[in-house]
Structure 1
Amino acid sequence: MATQTTTERPPEVKSVTEYPELGRTGRPYVPARSLNTDYPLIDSDPHFTRVLRYARASDYYAGTAFSALMPSVMLYWERISPSEVGRAGFSSIMRLSTGLGLISGFYLFYSRSINRFYGFSENRREIDLDMREMTDRVKKGEPLYGVSTLTEYMQGAASRQSRYAGTFMHVMPWFNFVNHSQHGVDTAKYYRNAEKELEAERSGVSA
Protein backbone atom coordinates (compact mmCIF):
# COMPACT_ATOMS: atom_id res chain seq x y z
CA MET A 1 0.00 0.00 0.00
CA ALA A 2 1.49 3.30 -1.08
CA THR A 3 2.03 5.90 1.60
CA GLN A 4 1.54 9.59 0.95
CA THR A 5 4.52 11.76 1.78
CA THR A 6 4.23 15.34 2.91
CA THR A 7 6.76 18.13 3.04
CA GLU A 8 7.84 18.85 6.59
CA ARG A 9 7.64 22.54 7.28
CA PRO A 10 10.87 24.21 8.39
CA PRO A 11 10.62 27.27 10.62
CA GLU A 12 9.69 30.40 8.69
CA VAL A 13 12.67 32.15 10.26
CA LYS A 14 15.65 30.32 11.71
CA SER A 15 16.97 31.99 14.87
CA VAL A 16 20.65 31.48 15.59
CA THR A 17 20.49 33.24 18.96
CA GLU A 18 22.52 31.32 21.51
CA TYR A 19 21.56 33.16 24.67
CA PRO A 20 18.28 32.87 26.62
CA GLU A 21 15.77 35.69 26.61
CA LEU A 22 15.64 37.75 29.77
CA GLY A 23 12.46 38.77 31.54
CA ARG A 24 8.88 38.12 30.51
CA THR A 25 8.65 37.82 26.74
CA GLY A 26 5.51 35.75 26.30
CA ARG A 27 3.36 38.51 24.84
CA PRO A 28 0.64 37.28 22.45
CA TYR A 29 1.16 37.48 18.71
CA VAL A 30 -0.12 40.75 17.25
CA PRO A 31 -1.35 40.10 13.69
CA ALA A 32 -0.80 42.65 10.96
CA ARG A 33 -3.80 44.81 10.19
CA SER A 34 -5.60 43.89 6.98
CA LEU A 35 -6.14 46.79 4.60
CA ASN A 36 -8.67 47.02 1.80
CA THR A 37 -6.54 47.16 -1.33
CA ASP A 38 -7.20 46.75 -5.02
CA TYR A 39 -4.59 44.01 -5.37
CA PRO A 40 -3.50 41.03 -3.21
CA LEU A 41 -1.16 41.58 -0.27
CA ILE A 42 2.26 40.01 -0.76
CA ASP A 43 4.06 41.19 2.36
CA SER A 44 3.09 43.79 4.97
CA ASP A 45 6.71 44.19 6.10
CA PRO A 46 9.13 43.18 3.31
CA HIS A 47 12.85 43.15 3.99
CA PHE A 48 14.80 46.08 2.56
CA THR A 49 16.79 43.91 0.14
CA ARG A 50 13.64 42.16 -1.06
CA VAL A 51 12.05 45.46 -2.04
CA LEU A 52 15.15 46.27 -4.08
CA ARG A 53 15.26 42.84 -5.75
CA TYR A 54 11.61 42.99 -6.82
CA ALA A 55 11.83 46.50 -8.28
CA ARG A 56 10.85 46.92 -11.92
CA ALA A 57 12.81 48.68 -14.65
CA SER A 58 10.19 51.44 -14.60
CA ASP A 59 11.05 52.09 -10.94
CA TYR A 60 14.68 52.67 -11.86
CA TYR A 61 13.69 55.00 -14.70
CA ALA A 62 11.33 56.99 -12.48
CA GLY A 63 13.87 57.25 -9.67
CA THR A 64 16.65 58.32 -12.02
CA ALA A 65 14.50 60.95 -13.71
CA PHE A 66 13.32 62.33 -10.37
CA SER A 67 16.90 62.44 -9.07
CA ALA A 68 17.97 64.54 -12.04
CA LEU A 69 15.03 66.92 -11.72
CA MET A 70 16.29 69.10 -8.86
CA PRO A 71 19.85 69.77 -10.13
CA SER A 72 18.45 70.29 -13.64
CA VAL A 73 16.03 72.92 -12.36
CA MET A 74 18.85 74.67 -10.50
CA LEU A 75 20.94 74.78 -13.67
CA TYR A 76 18.00 76.15 -15.61
CA TRP A 77 17.30 78.85 -13.03
CA GLU A 78 20.97 79.82 -12.99
CA ARG A 79 20.87 80.21 -16.74
CA ILE A 80 17.76 82.39 -16.95
CA SER A 81 18.41 84.30 -13.72
CA PRO A 82 22.07 84.13 -12.58
CA SER A 83 22.56 84.02 -8.83
CA GLU A 84 25.90 85.84 -9.05
CA VAL A 85 27.29 83.86 -6.12
CA GLY A 86 30.42 82.88 -8.01
CA ARG A 87 31.67 79.49 -9.14
CA ALA A 88 32.41 78.25 -5.60
CA GLY A 89 29.02 79.34 -4.29
CA PHE A 90 27.13 77.75 -7.15
CA SER A 91 29.13 74.53 -6.77
CA SER A 92 27.85 74.26 -3.20
CA ILE A 93 24.30 74.81 -4.43
CA MET A 94 24.70 72.07 -7.03
CA ARG A 95 26.16 69.60 -4.52
CA LEU A 96 23.23 70.18 -2.19
CA SER A 97 20.61 69.94 -4.93
CA THR A 98 22.24 66.81 -6.36
CA GLY A 99 22.30 65.15 -2.94
CA LEU A 100 18.67 66.02 -2.27
CA GLY A 101 17.76 64.84 -5.75
CA LEU A 102 19.42 61.46 -5.21
CA ILE A 103 17.66 60.97 -1.87
CA SER A 104 14.29 61.98 -3.33
CA GLY A 105 14.79 59.73 -6.34
CA PHE A 106 15.58 56.76 -4.11
CA TYR A 107 12.47 57.40 -2.01
CA LEU A 108 10.32 57.42 -5.15
CA PHE A 109 12.00 54.26 -6.45
CA TYR A 110 11.55 52.45 -3.13
CA SER A 111 7.95 53.62 -2.65
CA ARG A 112 6.89 52.38 -6.08
CA SER A 113 8.35 48.95 -5.37
CA ILE A 114 7.09 48.51 -1.80
CA ASN A 115 3.56 49.65 -2.70
CA ARG A 116 3.23 46.53 -4.84
CA PHE A 117 4.01 44.37 -1.80
CA TYR A 118 1.20 46.15 0.05
CA GLY A 119 -1.22 45.62 -2.84
CA PHE A 120 -1.62 49.35 -3.47
CA SER A 121 -0.70 49.01 -7.16
CA GLU A 122 -0.73 46.31 -9.83
CA ASN A 123 1.52 43.46 -8.66
CA ARG A 124 0.95 40.38 -10.84
CA ARG A 125 4.68 40.09 -11.60
CA GLU A 126 5.62 40.40 -7.92
CA ILE A 127 3.06 37.76 -6.89
CA ASP A 128 4.64 35.31 -9.31
CA LEU A 129 8.16 36.18 -8.13
CA ASP A 130 7.13 35.77 -4.50
CA MET A 131 5.51 32.39 -5.12
CA ARG A 132 8.54 31.17 -7.07
CA GLU A 133 11.03 32.32 -4.44
CA MET A 134 9.13 30.91 -1.48
CA THR A 135 8.26 27.64 -3.20
CA ASP A 136 11.93 27.07 -4.01
CA ARG A 137 12.82 27.74 -0.37
CA VAL A 138 10.26 25.17 0.81
CA LYS A 139 11.54 22.56 -1.63
CA LYS A 140 15.10 23.13 -0.42
CA GLY A 141 14.05 22.92 3.23
CA GLU A 142 15.12 26.50 3.90
CA PRO A 143 13.32 28.94 6.21
CA LEU A 144 10.95 31.15 4.23
CA TYR A 145 12.20 34.45 5.58
CA GLY A 146 15.84 33.68 6.22
CA VAL A 147 18.01 33.50 9.33
CA SER A 148 17.89 35.93 12.24
CA THR A 149 20.15 36.58 15.22
CA LEU A 150 17.18 37.98 17.16
CA THR A 151 14.94 36.03 19.50
CA GLU A 152 11.34 35.40 18.47
CA TYR A 153 10.12 38.12 20.81
CA MET A 154 12.50 40.73 19.38
CA GLN A 155 11.55 39.71 15.85
CA GLY A 156 7.93 40.48 16.71
CA ALA A 157 8.90 43.81 18.24
CA ALA A 158 10.83 44.74 15.10
CA SER A 159 7.89 43.74 12.92
CA ARG A 160 5.46 45.90 14.87
CA GLN A 161 7.73 48.90 14.35
CA SER A 162 7.97 48.63 10.56
CA ARG A 163 4.67 47.22 9.27
CA TYR A 164 3.43 49.35 6.39
CA ALA A 165 6.24 51.81 7.14
CA GLY A 166 6.45 52.57 3.43
CA THR A 167 3.18 54.50 3.62
CA PHE A 168 4.85 57.05 5.92
CA MET A 169 8.16 57.29 4.08
CA HIS A 170 7.53 60.87 2.94
CA VAL A 171 7.52 61.90 6.61
CA MET A 172 10.00 59.49 8.22
CA PRO A 173 12.06 56.98 6.20
CA TRP A 174 11.82 53.62 7.96
CA PHE A 175 13.07 50.32 6.55
CA ASN A 176 12.91 46.71 7.67
CA PHE A 177 16.33 45.08 8.07
CA VAL A 178 15.11 42.20 10.27
CA ASN A 179 14.26 38.67 9.17
CA HIS A 180 11.05 37.63 10.94
CA SER A 181 7.95 35.52 10.29
CA GLN A 182 5.22 38.15 10.73
CA HIS A 183 4.32 39.32 7.24
CA GLY A 184 0.52 39.35 7.25
CA VAL A 185 0.02 36.47 4.79
CA ASP A 186 -0.91 32.81 5.08
CA THR A 187 2.28 30.94 4.23
CA ALA A 188 0.38 27.68 3.70
CA LYS A 189 0.02 28.61 0.02
CA TYR A 190 3.77 28.21 -0.46
CA TYR A 191 3.76 24.72 1.04
CA ARG A 192 0.75 23.69 -1.03
CA ASN A 193 2.45 24.85 -4.21
CA ALA A 194 5.67 23.07 -3.24
CA GLU A 195 3.73 19.85 -2.60
CA LYS A 196 2.06 20.20 -5.98
CA GLU A 197 5.37 20.68 -7.78
CA LEU A 198 7.09 17.85 -5.90
CA GLU A 199 4.20 15.51 -6.72
CA ALA A 200 4.41 16.51 -10.38
CA GLU A 201 8.16 15.87 -10.36
CA ARG A 202 7.69 12.45 -8.76
CA SER A 203 5.00 11.57 -11.29
CA GLY A 204 7.27 12.64 -14.13
CA VAL A 205 10.14 10.51 -12.85
CA SER A 206 7.96 7.44 -12.29
CA ALA A 207 6.44 7.79 -15.77
Structure 2
Amino acid sequence: MSTQTTTERPEEVHSVRENYPELSSTNGRPFVPARTLHTDYPLIDSDPHFRRVIAYARPSDYLAGTIFAAFPPAAMLLMERMSPSEVGKGGFSSIMRLTGGLGLASGFYLLYSRSQNRFYGFSENRREIEKDMREMTDKVKKGEPLYGVSTMTEYMQGVASRQSRYSGVFLHVMPWFNFVNHGQHGVDTAKYYRNAERELEAEGGRA
Protein backbone atom coordinates (compact mmCIF):
# COMPACT_ATOMS: atom_id res chain seq x y z
CA MET A 1 0.00 0.00 0.00
CA SER A 2 2.79 2.41 0.91
CA THR A 3 4.69 1.58 -2.28
CA GLN A 4 1.72 2.50 -4.43
CA THR A 5 1.24 5.80 -2.61
CA THR A 6 4.81 6.95 -3.11
CA THR A 7 5.24 5.55 -6.63
CA GLU A 8 2.09 7.09 -8.07
CA ARG A 9 3.04 10.56 -6.98
CA PRO A 10 0.21 13.05 -7.58
CA GLU A 11 0.70 16.49 -9.03
CA GLU A 12 1.56 19.25 -6.57
CA VAL A 13 -1.18 21.34 -8.18
CA HIS A 14 -3.95 19.68 -10.15
CA SER A 15 -4.77 21.77 -13.22
CA VAL A 16 -8.22 21.36 -14.71
CA ARG A 17 -7.46 23.46 -17.78
CA GLU A 18 -8.22 20.49 -20.04
CA ASN A 19 -11.86 20.96 -19.06
CA TYR A 20 -11.76 24.55 -20.30
CA PRO A 21 -11.02 24.82 -24.05
CA GLU A 22 -10.72 28.59 -23.80
CA LEU A 23 -7.56 28.17 -21.69
CA SER A 24 -5.08 27.49 -24.47
CA SER A 25 -1.50 26.44 -23.90
CA THR A 26 0.96 29.32 -23.57
CA ASN A 27 4.57 28.83 -24.55
CA GLY A 28 7.22 30.15 -22.21
CA ARG A 29 9.22 29.25 -19.15
CA PRO A 30 6.66 27.91 -16.67
CA PHE A 31 9.18 27.55 -13.85
CA VAL A 32 11.70 30.08 -12.60
CA PRO A 33 13.42 29.00 -9.35
CA ALA A 34 12.91 31.23 -6.34
CA ARG A 35 15.91 33.11 -5.08
CA THR A 36 17.48 31.40 -2.08
CA LEU A 37 17.57 33.62 1.00
CA HIS A 38 19.78 32.91 3.99
CA THR A 39 17.46 33.02 6.98
CA ASP A 40 17.77 32.08 10.64
CA TYR A 41 14.99 29.50 10.38
CA PRO A 42 13.92 26.93 7.73
CA LEU A 43 11.87 28.07 4.76
CA ILE A 44 8.33 26.69 4.71
CA ASP A 45 6.90 28.50 1.69
CA SER A 46 8.25 31.40 -0.37
CA ASP A 47 4.77 32.23 -1.69
CA PRO A 48 2.12 31.00 0.77
CA HIS A 49 -1.52 31.19 -0.22
CA PHE A 50 -3.58 33.84 1.57
CA ARG A 51 -5.72 31.30 3.39
CA ARG A 52 -2.66 29.40 4.68
CA VAL A 53 -1.16 32.56 6.14
CA ILE A 54 -4.39 33.30 8.00
CA ALA A 55 -4.87 29.68 9.09
CA TYR A 56 -1.33 29.44 10.48
CA ALA A 57 -1.51 32.70 12.45
CA ARG A 58 -0.85 32.33 16.16
CA PRO A 59 -3.05 33.70 18.97
CA SER A 60 -0.24 36.17 19.72
CA ASP A 61 -0.61 37.50 16.17
CA TYR A 62 -4.30 38.17 16.71
CA LEU A 63 -3.54 39.84 20.03
CA ALA A 64 -0.87 42.07 18.50
CA GLY A 65 -3.14 42.91 15.58
CA THR A 66 -6.04 43.79 17.87
CA ILE A 67 -3.91 46.09 20.03
CA PHE A 68 -2.42 47.74 16.95
CA ALA A 69 -5.88 48.20 15.41
CA ALA A 70 -7.24 49.80 18.58
CA PHE A 71 -4.39 52.29 18.91
CA PRO A 72 -5.39 54.92 16.26
CA PRO A 73 -8.99 55.45 17.45
CA ALA A 74 -7.91 55.27 21.10
CA ALA A 75 -5.20 57.86 20.49
CA MET A 76 -7.69 60.10 18.69
CA LEU A 77 -10.14 59.88 21.58
CA LEU A 78 -7.38 60.72 24.04
CA MET A 79 -6.27 63.76 22.03
CA GLU A 80 -9.87 64.90 21.70
CA ARG A 81 -10.28 64.71 25.46
CA MET A 82 -7.02 66.54 26.16
CA SER A 83 -7.48 69.17 23.47
CA PRO A 84 -11.03 69.29 22.05
CA SER A 85 -11.20 69.96 18.32
CA GLU A 86 -14.66 71.55 18.58
CA VAL A 87 -15.59 70.23 15.14
CA GLY A 88 -18.96 69.07 16.38
CA LYS A 89 -20.41 65.61 16.84
CA GLY A 90 -20.84 64.94 13.13
CA GLY A 91 -17.31 66.01 12.24
CA PHE A 92 -15.69 63.97 14.97
CA SER A 93 -17.69 60.88 13.97
CA SER A 94 -16.18 61.07 10.50
CA ILE A 95 -12.71 61.34 11.99
CA MET A 96 -13.34 58.30 14.19
CA ARG A 97 -14.59 56.25 11.23
CA LEU A 98 -11.45 57.12 9.30
CA THR A 99 -9.08 56.31 12.16
CA GLY A 100 -11.05 53.14 12.91
CA GLY A 101 -10.67 51.98 9.31
CA LEU A 102 -6.97 52.78 9.31
CA GLY A 103 -6.60 50.92 12.59
CA LEU A 104 -8.33 47.80 11.26
CA ALA A 105 -6.19 47.80 8.12
CA SER A 106 -2.93 48.30 10.00
CA GLY A 107 -3.87 45.65 12.57
CA PHE A 108 -4.62 43.14 9.83
CA TYR A 109 -1.35 43.90 8.04
CA LEU A 110 0.57 43.36 11.26
CA LEU A 111 -1.14 40.02 11.88
CA TYR A 112 -0.57 38.90 8.29
CA SER A 113 3.06 40.02 8.26
CA ARG A 114 3.92 38.21 11.49
CA SER A 115 2.40 34.97 10.21
CA GLN A 116 3.91 35.28 6.74
CA ASN A 117 7.40 35.94 8.09
CA ARG A 118 7.37 32.49 9.69
CA PHE A 119 6.72 30.92 6.28
CA TYR A 120 9.76 32.79 4.97
CA GLY A 121 11.90 31.65 7.89
CA PHE A 122 12.44 35.21 9.11
CA SER A 123 11.24 34.37 12.63
CA GLU A 124 10.90 31.31 14.86
CA ASN A 125 8.61 28.82 13.12
CA ARG A 126 8.85 25.38 14.75
CA ARG A 127 5.07 25.22 15.26
CA GLU A 128 4.43 26.14 11.63
CA ILE A 129 6.95 23.58 10.34
CA GLU A 130 5.20 20.82 12.25
CA LYS A 131 1.76 22.01 11.13
CA ASP A 132 2.88 22.24 7.51
CA MET A 133 4.36 18.73 7.60
CA ARG A 134 1.16 17.36 9.12
CA GLU A 135 -1.07 19.08 6.56
CA MET A 136 0.98 18.04 3.54
CA THR A 137 1.58 14.49 4.76
CA ASP A 138 -2.15 13.99 5.20
CA LYS A 139 -2.73 15.23 1.64
CA VAL A 140 -0.15 12.80 0.28
CA LYS A 141 -1.75 9.90 2.12
CA LYS A 142 -5.15 10.87 0.72
CA GLY A 143 -3.76 11.24 -2.81
CA GLU A 144 -4.65 14.93 -2.97
CA PRO A 145 -2.54 17.60 -4.72
CA LEU A 146 -0.34 19.40 -2.21
CA TYR A 147 -1.25 22.92 -3.25
CA GLY A 148 -4.81 22.50 -4.42
CA VAL A 149 -6.55 22.73 -7.78
CA SER A 150 -6.03 25.45 -10.38
CA THR A 151 -7.79 26.38 -13.62
CA MET A 152 -4.71 28.29 -14.79
CA THR A 153 -2.12 26.99 -17.23
CA GLU A 154 1.27 26.01 -15.85
CA TYR A 155 2.80 29.09 -17.45
CA MET A 156 0.27 31.44 -15.85
CA GLN A 157 0.79 29.74 -12.50
CA GLY A 158 4.48 30.60 -12.86
CA VAL A 159 3.63 34.20 -13.72
CA ALA A 160 1.42 34.47 -10.64
CA SER A 161 4.15 32.97 -8.47
CA ARG A 162 6.77 35.41 -9.67
CA GLN A 163 4.45 38.34 -8.99
CA SER A 164 3.78 37.46 -5.34
CA ARG A 165 6.93 35.55 -4.30
CA TYR A 166 8.33 37.11 -1.09
CA SER A 167 5.85 39.96 -1.52
CA GLY A 168 5.43 40.08 2.25
CA VAL A 169 8.70 41.96 2.68
CA PHE A 170 7.03 44.99 1.05
CA LEU A 171 3.63 44.53 2.66
CA HIS A 172 4.01 47.90 4.41
CA VAL A 173 4.55 49.59 1.03
CA MET A 174 2.13 47.73 -1.23
CA PRO A 175 -0.17 45.00 0.12
CA TRP A 176 0.15 42.06 -2.28
CA PHE A 177 -1.30 38.63 -1.55
CA ASN A 178 -1.21 35.25 -3.25
CA PHE A 179 -4.65 33.90 -4.17
CA VAL A 180 -3.39 31.42 -6.80
CA ASN A 181 -2.84 27.69 -6.35
CA HIS A 182 0.50 26.78 -7.91
CA GLY A 183 3.39 24.42 -7.24
CA GLN A 184 6.27 26.90 -7.06
CA HIS A 185 6.97 27.46 -3.38
CA GLY A 186 10.75 27.23 -3.11
CA VAL A 187 10.88 23.97 -1.13
CA ASP A 188 11.62 20.34 -1.95
CA THR A 189 8.26 18.60 -1.59
CA ALA A 190 9.91 15.16 -1.50
CA LYS A 191 10.08 15.48 2.28
CA TYR A 192 6.30 15.23 2.49
CA TYR A 193 6.24 12.01 0.46
CA ARG A 194 9.05 10.47 2.50
CA ASN A 195 7.23 11.26 5.73
CA ALA A 196 3.97 9.85 4.35
CA GLU A 197 5.78 6.66 3.32
CA ARG A 198 7.26 6.26 6.80
CA GLU A 199 3.86 6.73 8.42
CA LEU A 200 2.17 4.28 6.05
CA GLU A 201 4.86 1.69 6.71
CA ALA A 202 4.46 2.18 10.46
CA GLU A 203 0.69 1.85 10.17
CA GLY A 204 1.10 -1.30 8.08
CA GLY A 205 3.47 -2.76 10.67
CA ARG A 206 1.01 -2.18 13.50
CA ALA A 207 -1.77 -3.78 11.46
Contact 2:26/2:155, CA 8 A, preserved across alignment: no
The residue that corresponds to 2:200 in the other structure is 198
Residue 10 (structure 1) aligned with residue 10 (structure 2): yes
Match of 1:196, as an amino acid? Answer: R
Residue 39 (structure 1) aligned with residue 41 (structure 2): yes
Quote the Cα distance in structure 1 between the aligned partners of 2:128 and 2:162: 23
The residue that corresponds to 1:153 in the other structure is 155
Contact 2:167/2:177, CA 8 A, preserved across alignment: yes
* Cα pair distance change 1:27/1:21, threshold 3 Å: farther
Quote the Cα distance in structure 2 between the aligned partners of 1:97 and 1:22: 47
Quote the Cα distance in structure 2 between the aligned partners of 1:135 and 1:23: 31
Please state how far the C-alpha of 1:28 moved relative to its aligned partner. Answer: 5.4
The residue that corresponds to 2:78 in the other structure is 76
Q: Deviations over 1:19-55 (max 9, x none)?
A: 2654752325210111010000000000000000000
Coordinate RMSD, CA, aligned: 1.4
Quote the Cα distance in structure 2 between the aligned partners of 1:185 and 1:175: 19
Q: Deviations over 1:108-131 (max 9, x none)?
A: 000000000000000000000000
Please state how far the C-alpha of 1:72 moved relative to its aligned partner. Answer: 0.2
Residue 114 (structure 1) aligned with residue 116 (structure 2): yes
Quote the Cα distance in structure 1 between the aligned partners of 2:96 and 2:200: 57
Q: Deviations over 1:95-118 (max 9, x none)?
A: 000000000000000000000000
**Secondary structure of 2:3's partner?**
coil
Please state how far the C-alpha of 1:61 moved relative to its aligned partner. Answer: 0.1
Please state how far the C-alpha of 1:5 moved relative to its aligned partner. Answer: 2.3
Q: Is there any run of 5+ residues in structure 2 with no aligned partner, and where?
A: none
Q: List 4+ stretches of structure 1 deviating above 3 A.
A: 20-24
Q: Is there any run of 5+ residues in structure 1 with no aligned partner, and where?
A: none
Count of residues in correspondence between the two structures: 203
Q: Deviations over 1:140-191 (max 9, x none)?
A: 0000000011111110000000000000000000000000000000000000
Where do residues 125-164 of structure 1 align in structure 2 (5 Å cutoff)?
125-164=127-166
Quote the Cα distance in structure 1 between the aligned partners of 2:24 and 2:143: 30
Greater displacement, 108-117 / 9-18 = 9-18
* Cα pair distance change 1:102/1:184, threshold 3 Å: same
Instruction: Calculate the TM-score normalised by the size of structure 1.
Output: 0.95
Residue 102 (structure 1) aligned with residue 104 (structure 2): yes
**Secondary structure of 1:125's partner?**
helix
Q: 2:62 aligns with which of 60, 63, 76?
A: 60
Identity %: 74
